[in-house]
């Protein structure tokens, strides 16, 4: 049971919405903050104090953070490759959010501060082949991150570190690797690969087109983390004593073609693939090396891609059928763990989900 005042910035977005619900399920008092109008939030829960604030503004941050014991910063102007490759300045402006939230957290003597960083902090030169062995935390330096978005994340990580060292603010940083799941962005240009592929397969099935466009040659590799693993890892890391950035991602690496295979199998269709080699593709190969998180937390994300995609596909199917943009909705939360596993695979075995409350760690 958490009995303090917790601020979640970016609560109207994909991961923030899931985090808020997870905290509320533990009876934690949550102030949920986003700059979007409330009716545009991906999820909105009336148990939280829901507030519309722009936390790139210092005074708004002071107002948001007053009285808070913990702050989770998941607010950023971001999206998939199509967005971040074409909006570098907008991505970098998110530096104002973390800077001002840190300043306000320091002033209000917040006990814990969490920052959502990204695998985009890793240098291109470590991700130029599909057979990526997994990115280790130390690989972030010498720095040459994704232009725009990645530089902002790396700089903001660094600022968290120095607010800890110089001002005694306890900061925690996770480098998220490709998070997906229900209530994520699935249309409009900011969506990421799993949601985009699910949507395209649903649309092809409904229209009878039997074709799908894939960005790049489909042989680029990635790993994808289901949102329940992300929320659990975020909460466990925030409650831990680990003050260095940790990877929070799956080590189940697949090619984009293999990702499409799985979605097609779930949907029960086979589509003709056309490859758009001019579309934004990102790095050639990326996966998460989970050695450090396994050592330090005794846990790593383990919900299989197949299991997570089944839930995600079903949700996007309903959204497309409903003919709407993402809308606030409530769904049951599931958290899952299995024994740590390290491999490159197209795994299709079912996961064994278990409830958050039976986990052996302190979860904040």
CA nearest neighbour of 12 among 27, 31, 26, 25: 31
| 15 touches ligand NAD by CB under 6 A | yes
DSSP labels, 322-360: HT-S----------B--S----B----PPP-B--GGG-S
CA distance 251 to 262: 17
Q: Is 149 a known active-site residue?
A: yes
- Residues 160-219 within binding reach of ligand NAD (CB under 6 A): 176, 178-179, 185, 192
Handedness of CA 27, 28, 31, 33 (dihedral sign): negative
3-state DSSP percent of the chain in helix, strand and coil, to 5: 40, 15, 45
| 301 touches ligand NAD by CB under 6 A | no
Tokens of 313: 């596909």
Report the residue from 5, 6, 8, 16 that binds ligand NAD according to the rule CB under 6 A. Answer: 16
Mask: binding to ligand NAD, 93-122, rule CB under 6 A, as x and -?
----x------------------x-x----
- Give me the catalytic one of 113, 122, 141, 149: 149
| 13 touches ligand NAD by CB under 6 A | yes
| Angle at which helices 227-239 and 14-25 cross, to 10° | 60
When the beta carbons of 78 and 102 are compared against ligand NAD, the nearer one is 78
Q: Least distance in Å: CB of 55 to ligand NAD?
A: 4
| 92 touches ligand NAD by CB under 6 A | no
Report the residue from 8, 23, 31, 74 that binds ligand NAD according to the rule CB under 6 A. Answer: 74
- Residues 50-69 within binding reach of ligand NAD (CB under 6 A): 54-56
Helical ranges in 1-57 per DSSP H: 14-25
Q: Are 182 and 311 in contact (CB under 8 A)?
A: yes
Q: Catalytic residue numbers? A: 149
Contacts to ligand NAD by CB under 6 A? 9-10, 12-16, 34-36, 54-56, 74-78, 97, 116, 118, 176, 178-179, 185, 192
């Amino acid at each position: 049971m958490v009995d303090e005042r917790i601020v979640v910035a970016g609560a109207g977005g994909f991961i923030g919405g899931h985090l808020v619900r997870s905290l509320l399920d533990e009876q934690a008092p949550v102030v949920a903050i986003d700059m979007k109008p409330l009716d545009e939030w991906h999820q909105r829960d009336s148990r939280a104090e829901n507030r519309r604030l722009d936390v790139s503004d210092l005074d708004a941050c002071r107002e948001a953070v007053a009285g808070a014991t913990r702050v989770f910063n998941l607010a950023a102007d971001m999206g998939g490759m199509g967005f971040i490759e074409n909006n570098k300045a907008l991505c970098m402006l998110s530096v104002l959010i973390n800077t001002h939230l840190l300043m306000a957290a320091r002033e209000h003597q917040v006990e814990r501060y969490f920052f959502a960083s990204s695998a985009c902090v890793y240098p291109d030169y470590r991700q130029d082949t599909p057979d990526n062995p997994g990115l280790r935390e130390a690989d972030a330096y010498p720095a040459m991150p994704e232009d725009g978005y990645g530089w902002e994340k790396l700089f903001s990580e660094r600022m968290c570190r120095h607010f800890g060292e110089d001002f005694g603010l306890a900061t925690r940083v996770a480098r998220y690797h490709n998070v997906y799941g229900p209530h994520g962005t699935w249309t409009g240009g900011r969506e990421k690969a799993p949601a985009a592929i699910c949507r395209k397969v649903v649309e092809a099935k409904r229209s009878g087109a039997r074709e799908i466009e894939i960005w790049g040659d489909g042989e680029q590799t990635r790993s994808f983390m289901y949102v329940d693993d992300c929320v659990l890892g975020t909460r466990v890391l925030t409650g831990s004593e680990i003050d260095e950035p940790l990877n929070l991602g799956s080590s189940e690496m697949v090619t984009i073609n293999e990702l499409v295979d799985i979605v097609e199998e779930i949907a029960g269709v086979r589509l003709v693939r056309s490859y758009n080699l001019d579309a934004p593709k990102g790095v050639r190969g990326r996966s998460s090396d989970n050695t450090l998180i396994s050592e330090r937390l005794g846990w790593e994300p383990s919900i299989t891609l197949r299991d997570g995609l089944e839930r995600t596909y079903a949700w996007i199917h309903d959204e497309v059928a409903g003919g709407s943009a993402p809308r606030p909705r409530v769904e049951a939360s599931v958290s899952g763990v299995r024994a740590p596993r390290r491999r490159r695979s197209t795994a299709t075995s079912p996961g064994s989900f278990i409830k958050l409350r039976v986990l052996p760690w302190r979860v904040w």
